Structure 1
Amino acid sequence: MQVHGLFEQRENLIFRKSAYLQWGDSKEVIGSIILHNPGGAKLEKNLWNDLNSGKITVAEGQITRDLGKINLIEKVMKKVFTPLEGRLLLLNLFNIVESDPDLAIEKFHSVKDDPLYSELLYPNISLLSDIPWIWIAWTTNESRIEELIERIEPQLISLPHKRFIGDIDEKPHRKFGYSIKAKYPPIADVKRDKLAEILKRQIKEF
């Protein structure tokens, strides 16, 4: 597996503008996943240091560090697809690179109303219009991200298809009529096996 990312630094914050997981040589997009935020994902050390210091403002390449969550995703995908070939697009509720979820939320609130960051802060949901399926996996702890979910849900629901997969609870929403509560990919092997079976069944239903 390779992980490719495009990052931009602005006023001491780093944003991951796009990313994907690559298996094999095929450029076919097999699906997508929406997570909380990019966590602590980083490029190789020298390139990342140049970006972090402001020596450069944009950097693109292989993500080589802090791949814990990405490795969990790969383990599930290998159980769902045999063989596993193609690209999985990575999106987030917001694009700030920060490994501490609480600090990431603090940083989000500090810049959410600043037009300087508006085009960097949020994912481009239009990229998902023709994607076979969308794995919703941002977290069920909605109390701290309610504002972000309120923003993204109507965009997802307005897509030409509603091919959502994952360990999700689709209860009616008072505003949108469709609510998505989503869990992160599990750490435990047994739970990953269970999730893989759920994903296989959901994908076959499309």
Structure 2
Amino acid sequence: MNIYAEYFSENGINYRKTTIIQIGDSWEIIGSAILKNPGSAIPLDDEIEKDTLDQISGICPNSKPHYWKKFKADPTMRCLEKIFDGSYINSSKEISGIILLFNLHYIREADINKARNLFDKSSSTHTFPDMEEVKNLIKDKPVFIGWFDEHEKLKNENVKIFAADIFCHLTSDENSYLEKEFSQNQFYHPLYVGRLYNNKNFKNWPIYSTLQKFQQQFL
């Protein structure tokens, strides 16, 4: 698994925008995920080869090549891979390609209170995802939403608007795994899925049915 992300600083605030999770050697888009926040990971010192940057630029043409950095795969990304390959519903298949990862905000800060404070200090256009940009990048591939109730906890109007708009966009597809009413969805975070997986009752819970519906989008 290779991880690449747009990472840069503006006015003392660090941002991590679009993240590319590459599984195998392919650059075909498998799907996307929209989670809570970029966390607190910092980039590796490894330089990205030109051929790789060219591939990235083809996927994210509006990004700046020098912003892209390599990152180490974290537990959330490992769990996300298992959601996409069907491991959690005991229907594992080999996948090769990329998963695009977005978040409700792009400030590199996992602490929700600190993040909210930085919202007020940041005047950057990179603080929150751009709806049209995200729509263009996700194309017609499956999208997994795993932000739990962070859209409420962040107490930010930009976040609420984006969450509502992207939800409406995704549920306009009749094949979407999401329930049509926003409030009827749990938006399970990948780490939460991973923690519950070994519970003997896992198959009897709504989370299992949700993961099954998500897999059906690949059929």
> TM-score, normalization: structure 2?
0.68
Q: Structure 1's 75 and 131: CA in aligned 2 closer, same or farther, altered over 3 A?
A: same
Contact 1:17 1:95 in 2 (8 A): yes
Where 1:31 maps in the other structure, the secondary structure is strand
Residues 32-41 or 141-150, more deviating: 141-150
Partner of 1:53: none
Residues 195-204 or 180-189, more deviating: 195-204
Partner of 1:152: 163
What is the CA–CA distance in structure 2 between the aligned matches of 1:76 and 1:172, rounded to whole Å? 21
Aligned residue identity for 1:85? S
| 1:121 paired residue among 124, 127, 131 | 127
Where 1:42 maps in the other structure, the secondary structure is coil
Partner of 2:109: 98
Partner of 1:6: 6
Q: Structure 1's 89 and 22: CA in aligned 2 closer, same or farther, altered over 3 A?
A: same
Root-mean-square deviation (CA, aligned residues, Å) is 3.1
Q: Structure 1's 153 and 184: CA in aligned 2 closer, same or farther, altered over 3 A?
A: same
Partner of 2:26: 26
Contact 1:76 1:196 in 2 (8 A): no
The equivalences for 1:150-189 within 5 A come to: 150-158=161-169, 161-162=172-173, 164-165=176-177, 170-171=180-181, 181-185=186-190, 186=192, 187-188=194-195, 189=197
**Which ranges in structure 1 are unaligned for 5 or more consecutive residues?**
48-57, 174-178
Contact 2:107 2:127 in 1 (8 A): yes
Instruction: Select the structure that is richer in strand.
Output: 1
Alignment of 1:108 with 2:119, yes or no, is yes
Query: How far 1:64 sits from its partner (Å)?
Result: 1.9
The equivalences for 1:51-130 within 5 A come to: 59-64=67-72, 67-78=74-85, 79=87, 81-111=92-122, 114=123, 117-118=124-125, 120-123=126-129, 124-128=133-137, 130=139
Where 2:198 maps in the other structure, the secondary structure is helix
Partner of 1:190: 198
**Which ranges in structure 2 are unaligned for 5 or more consecutive residues?**
48-65
Partner of 2:63: none
Q: Structure 1's 190 and 86: CA in aligned 2 closer, same or farther, altered over 3 A?
A: same
| 1:135 paired residue among 120, 132, 144 | 144
Give the aligned length.
Answer: 182
User: RCO (CA 8 Å, sep 6+): is it higher in 1 or 2?
Assistant: 2
The percentage of counterpart residues that share the same residue type is 21
> TM-score, normalization: structure 1?
0.72
Residues 7-16 or 132-141, more deviating: 132-141
Deviations 1:71-111 (A, max 9, x none): 32234334165102111000011111113233223212332
What is the CA–CA distance in structure 2 between the aligned matches of 1:33 and 1:181, rounded to whole Å? 15
